[in-house]
Structure 1
Amino acid sequence: MNEIVQVKNLQKIFCKGNICIANKINLSINEGEIFTILGKSGSGKTTFLRMIAGLETPDDGEISVDNKTVFSKNTNLSPKDRKVAVVFQNYALLPHLSISSNITFGSKASKDELEDVLEKTKLKGQENKFPHELSGGQQQRVALARAIINKAKILLLDEPLSNIDTELRSHLRTELKEMIKAFNITALFITHDKEDAFYLSDRIAIMHGGNILQVGTAKEVYHHPKDLYCANFLGKITQLEDNTFIRPEHIEICPNGQFEAVIENIVFYGSFYEITINTGNKILLVHSYNDHLEIGQKIKYKFNGELLSF
């Protein structure tokens, strides 16, 4: 695969408090993929995106976009010369401009190019309206259309779904992925939300304390976390031995189980129950679909998935 973004030994330290936001990061993004930086608030992910965009200056390292160095010791191209486009959390639409004017703002796009983008983003017929007249989903499409019409090589998305309620979020997430793939554009997506990352991404990088801890597909990082932090961040785990852990869905309560325990607590989460069981010398979390379990009940259980060791 062609690597469209290459980052080498990227470093950024904020002098106030001597906080390391990027600690010699090495990373590559393939052409046409949706690549996600997943991390908690303060992990450095948004600063990383801003350094790719040219909105923040690194202290050291190199950044290349489409085989062209955009930052090094001797180079620091402006955002408009980097072939990148940023979609911010609030979409940054101009309220006094029509939809078509928002899309073409700062662009030299032709009328035909505008028509093509309007068609592909399902905004045809909305071009003469103003941002406040559109739904949240339509506003997201306008922000994407504006980014895409400038023929950027990479689309940078800074938590565009973070301020949206749960019901609409699922719909917009689907639309976002469909449009990115339809335009065959490379996207770097920044989020703290694991569900968004798992749904959207071809690959995920887990970031913490200015470091990239692990890179892989959603399945790879979830089932084969490289360390205890990654394992905990991506889902609940239960400790079995000193350095051995298991996920709750890999413990099964069943009549033919090898081990015995007593149910201490049951929490209903809609699609499953989270069961706390006491084995006599440890407490385990179990995810179950069984509607007939009760607190105080004696049960048998077995392990039916891979153990995690660190």
Structure 2
Amino acid sequence: MDLLTVSGVSLLENGHAALQPLSFAQRQGQKLALAGESGAGKSTLLQIIAGLTQPSTGEVRIGGERVRGPHETLVPGHPGVAYLSQKSDLPRSLRVEQVLRYASKRSEAEAQTLYELCHISHLLARRTDQLSGGEQQRVALARLLLGAPKLLLLDEPFSNLDRPHKRVLQTIIEELSEQLGITCLLVSHDGPDLLAWADDILVLHRGQLVQQGPPAQIYRQPVSEYAAGLFGDYSLVQGVNPEMLVPSPTPLPAGEVQLVRPEEFRLGPAGSGGVAGTVRAVRFFGSYCELAVKLPESIIRVRTDFPTPLAVDDVVQVAVVANGGWRLPTATT
């Protein structure tokens, strides 16, 4: 059953199309993510869904009920929808327990369970201005969850967090649906954050919905260089000898561009088949190494296990794994 339906929604601001007409749906319990660069329209779309921004065309329905924008209601927002912005916006100088008590629609036992889920039980006696950025974000999230929303909209929740606080918040969000039955729609400009979490990803570019699908499809079969770059490194291989693509079942016609992820290349010793290349750089990334390999007409990124026996100036043979790589459509940007 669809909890959220977005139908033909667009937004015109000062003569500029901030959002082109787009449509999609989200099922109850489905983890849906919006990906795109800064300025792509992600936050704008989220605010329209939350009832905080008035669309120029189209409509949003949640549980079959139309979301009214701020031009249609005195108090912006929609019942059952919680919107976590990039800033926590907590009242200053109040104790955390005060902020949460004023917002709660849950029993004391439910509230305590929620505090434990959000890792804030030890913060209740502190003032909000004594919290770190990550702690403020978790308290702000708990305050929204105390209102028992059906749909939680998360606008770049990790953007200002260091790695430890980011991992804590990621774990919390992963557990929300299972423990509280809350459906989440998450926005991020950092695509790799979404791959392990989302059931489905929507890619926005300049206000347009350019691709939608499960994470593996979005990563392996991007519609453009833009979509590919959101989710990780890649190399473009153009006009190479067909033997480089063996044993790929869909050889690359001369002149066409193939997008290949670093882990989709395979390296062998000189003379072992494929296309000859020369190692130009070896970079250490902890659990793996990434090599820059010079081919006759391009430089590619190749991921290998650590430690790697290869060094700068070594000659290698490069091939693409079976089913690896993706032939880009005519437009590659």
Instruction: Give the TM-score of the pair, scaled to structure 2.
Output: 0.82
> Gapped runs of 5+ residues in structure 2?
239-255
Task: State the one-letter code of the partner of 1:280.
Answer: P
Whether the 8 Å CA contact 1:104–1:114 is kept in 2: the answer is no
CA distance in 1, matches of 2:64, 2:74: 14
Does residue 294 (structure 1) correspond to residue 319 (structure 2)? The answer is no
Match of 1:83 in 2: 80
Q: 1:123–1:138: 8 Å Cα contact kept in structure 2?
A: yes
**Partner SS for 2:228:** helix
Q: Provide closer, same or farther for how the CA distance between residues 150 and 250 of structure 1 changes in structure 2, counting only shifts above 3 A.
A: same
CA distance in 1, matches of 2:202, 2:263: 24
Q: CA deviation at 1:48?
A: 0.6
2:50 to 46, 50, 53: 53
Deviation of 1:226 after TM superposition, in Å, equals: 2.6
Matched, 1:229 2:229: no
Q: Distance in 2 between matches of 1:127 and 1:89?
A: 22
| Alignment partner, residue 248 of structure 1 | 262
Tell me which of 273, 279, 286 is aligned to 2:295.
Answer: 279
Match of 1:69 among 57, 66, 71: 66
Asked if 1 retains the 8 angstrom alpha-carbon contact of 2:220 and 2:325, the reply is no
Contact in 2 for aligned 1:70/1:77 (Cα 8 Å): no
Structure 1 runs not aligned, ≥5 long: none
Query: Is residue 64–residue 71 contact of structure 1 (8 Å, CA) maintained in 2?
Result: no
User: Is 1:10–2:28 an aligned residue pair?
Assistant: no
Q: Deviations over 1:156-190 (max 9, x none)?
A: 11112111112432233223322343212011111
The CA deviation at 1:114 is: 3.6
Aligned identity (percent) is 27
Which residue of structure 2 lines up, in the alignment, with residue 307 of structure 1? 325
Q: Measure, in 2, the Cα distance between the counterparts of 1:119 and 1:167.
A: 17
- RMSD of the alignment, in Å? 2.5
2:197 to 194, 197, 200: 200
Q: TM-score, normalised by structure 1?
A: 0.88
Task: Indicate whether 1:159 and 2:149 are aligned.
Answer: no
The answer to whether the Cα contact below 8 Å between 1:70 and 1:82 also exists between their aligned partners in 2 is no
2:17 partner SS: strand
Query: How many residue pairs were aligned?
Result: 306
The correspondence of residues 96-107 of structure 1 with structure 2, limited to 5 A, is 96-106=93-103
What SS does structure 1 have at the residue aligned with 2:222? coil
Partner of 1:144: 141
C-alpha distance after superposition, 1:216-274 (max 9, x if no partner): 22212101223332123322222223232222211111234433222223333333322
Residue 55 of structure 1: how far off its partner (Å):
1.3
> How far apart, CA to CA, are the structure 1 residues paired with 2:86 and 2:50?
15
